[in-house]
Amino acid sequence: MGVLRGITWNHTRGYAPMAVTAQIFADRLPDVRIEWDRRSLWAFGEESLDALVAAYDLLVIDHPMIGTAVQAGALLPLDEQLPPAVMARIREGAVGRSQESYHYDGHDYALAVDAACQVAVARPDLLDAAGEDVPTTWSAVVDLARRTRRVALPLNPIDVLSAFLTLCAHLGGPLRHEPDGLCRETGLDALSMLRELAGLVDEPCRSANPIATLNRMVTTDEILYCPLLFGYTNYSREGYAPRRLSFHDIPSIEGEGPRGSCLGGAGIAVSASSGQRDLALAYAQWVSNATTQRTEYVCAGGQPAAAAAWDDPLANALTGDFFRSTRATIDAAYLRPRHPSFPEFQTNAAHVLRDTLLGSVPPGAAIDHLDRGYRQTFESAATSPP
């Protein structure tokens, strides 16, 4: 019997589609079994893959970890294992920059199966009751927050960093993939916007991540709207939670459109240590193809990366038009750096930025700290052994 072990992240969106598609795949191959384990959302976004590649054949991963994993020789370059025609279909068929995010140093080290970026979310029933519209500009968001005190912003460190990167990119000064990548003026403007909104949200937001914020929105009537968090189609599906949420493009600086949202999502990678490479590759190829993505994957609670699923009427009906309503945002999303030292910078920067929003670090000092730290990531990469 062929047995594959995989690890994904612990939420319905992360686990359910992998478990369901693994069973469907195994139903067609009676001598195959695929077992999926789960790790926390924090571990998915910030923990190294080093300890996992020896234990698992399949890994659902976050793209900022690609550079570190490649440097360690942890993952198979999938473009060397799969037919060129297959890789071309996956690259061309992915929504936005989802597949591009797993392309590093000339190779694709994962196949995009899940697509996400920061979007806006609302409780439409509460907005209607309050006589309010969904804000479409940042100034309207701040006005709604000031008048109602019922706007949220997740202030968990990594989500503060994501919001900062979104606003920098939206303002036209994204963190670039080079040593002098941080624009001081843009960074200060982004921090100013975030500090203003952070001063208008309530105490529970200070430790919240997107899942905690979404869970609070569907179980209480305390939040009308949140302008920036990673979207989850589960919460816009009928019956998933006590209340159904609606997702929207991010608010813009007047006239700029919903550009610059920090890209998230997940890709399926194959461990270089796997003793079942052919089987692992077969499953990864099948679960990432457009037909699987727009049928079994999305129906099982997944948030597919295939553009065919984002365009599919059934997928949109199932998710309250999540895909249509946020398509412009993901098509114009910002791709974070992925060089080997970026994950360490990301974790450190996230805490500095959160401290700035909460008032313990001056904005100028925070930007200087981030600039020095980011430059050092390239120096570290240049001196690291091959």
What pLDDT score does 254 carry? 72
What pLDDT score does 214 carry? 98
**Taking the mean position of all CA atoms in its chain, how far away is CA 118?**
7
What pLDDT score does 22 carry? 97
- pTM of the model as a whole: 0.95
What pLDDT score does 256 carry? 80
Work out the end-to-end distance of the chain between its first and last CA atoms, rounded to an integer number of angstroms. 37
The yes-or-no answer to whether 2-116+264-326 and 118-262+339-386 have a common fold is: yes
Assign domain 118-262+339-386 to its CATH superfamily.
Periplasmic binding protein-like II (3.40.190.10)
Please report, for the chain, the start and end positions of each structural domain, with discontinuous segments joined by +: 2-116+264-326, 118-262+339-386
Alpha carbon distance 191, 171 (integer Å): 12
What pLDDT score does 382 carry? 58
What pLDDT score does 386 carry? 46
What pLDDT score does 51 carry? 81
What pLDDT score does 42 carry? 80
Q: Are 182 and 371 in contact (CB under 8 A)?
A: yes
Report the CATH number of the 2-116+264-326 domain.
Answer: 3.40.190.10
Give the helix ranges, DSSP H, for the chain: 12-28, 41-46, 66-71, 84-93, 124-130, 138-148, 157-170, 184-198, 210-219, 277-288, 290-292, 298-299, 307-311, 313-318, 322-331, 342-357, 363-383
Residue ranges, the chain, pLDDT below 70: 45, 381-386
What pLDDT score does 385 carry? 46
